[in-house]
Amino acid sequence: MKFNVNFSSMKYKEVKEYILSIEDIENVFNNSEKENIINRLLQDKRKTIQKLGVKMSNILESKEKEIQRVRKMYDFDRSFGDFRYVAGVDEVGRGPLAGPIVAAAVLFDSKVVEDKDLILRANDSKKLSISCRKELSLIIKERALAYKIIAIDNKQIDEKGIAWCNNQVFLEACAGLTTRPDLVLSDGYRIKNYPSLNEFVIKGDTLSISIACASIIAKVYRDELMADYHEKYPNYGFDRNVGYGTQEHVLAIKKFGIIPIHRKSFLTKILE
């Protein structure tokens, strides 16, 4: 791509297309070159071109802030000591009236972190859009050294209780990693009977990169599973409520009754 382009000889549409192409292949230019382009846009006599310069400047500023935010999440995982293989584990589906509880464990090599490898936008999965979660889930699976997803169904939840199942999915997800972690960070509470080193982190999916990534792939997996259940049981709105006790879901239970994926132990008051 041509760097010393003469904006003054270009029409607004041509300049806009050029700027958009920079956003698409931003690694072609270093920060100094991008600042040079922004300055030339801002110095253009046309206000429409100046606005493009402001827009590009805002994009770069937001990108830098996001890099620093995510960097802190990687640094957080390294703050527990000189551990190379750090895994994060998190669950989704503890509270729904239907469907399984799902946990994921995601392991990274903490010694290999370059800016190009940062998983930008990683955060508590509930704070992300559906499309963002799906996109990030694929990126996480590609960049993680190892990951494992475990689900425990509603029958075991009714039989063993949600607390036991919550701990068990954590245990099984960690045990299923193909690379053994030196340290496991768990969201919310310490994993009972975990045989190796484990630290728990309150609100870990906003602080720890490995826990945030575990949160994302677990939620994408469970949401897609509940969407499949919606095809089989269309009266309950599982494509929207993913099994949680929304008004729509509760009314459907009262009207159509329970189905094989409902957690009977969670429905005692509803069925009274």
Binding-site residue numbers for a divalent metal cation are: 90-91, 187
Residue 101 has φ and ψ, to the nearest 5°, of -95, 140
Dig out the tokens for 186 from the structure.
């768990």
- Beta strand 146-152 with 198-201 is unpaired
CA 182 distance to own-chain centroid: 23
Residues 6 or more apart in contact with residue 122 via CB below 8 angstroms:
70, 73, 136, 140, 209, 212, 213, 216
With CA atoms as reference, report the closest residue to 92 among 107, 77, 79, 102: 102
Q: How many residues does the chain have?
A: 272
Question: DSSP for 26-84?
Answer: GGGS-HHHHHHHHHHHHTSS-HHHHHHHHHHHHHHHHHHHHHHHHHHHHHHHHTT-S-S
With CA atoms as reference, report the closest residue to 157 among 98, 214, 103: 98
Q: Which residues are documented as binding site?
A: 90-91, 187
Q: Where are the beta strands (DSSP E) in the chain?
A: 85-92, 101-109, 146-152, 183-187, 198-201
- What is the distance between the alpha carbons of residues 85 and 184, in angstroms, rounded to a whole number? 9
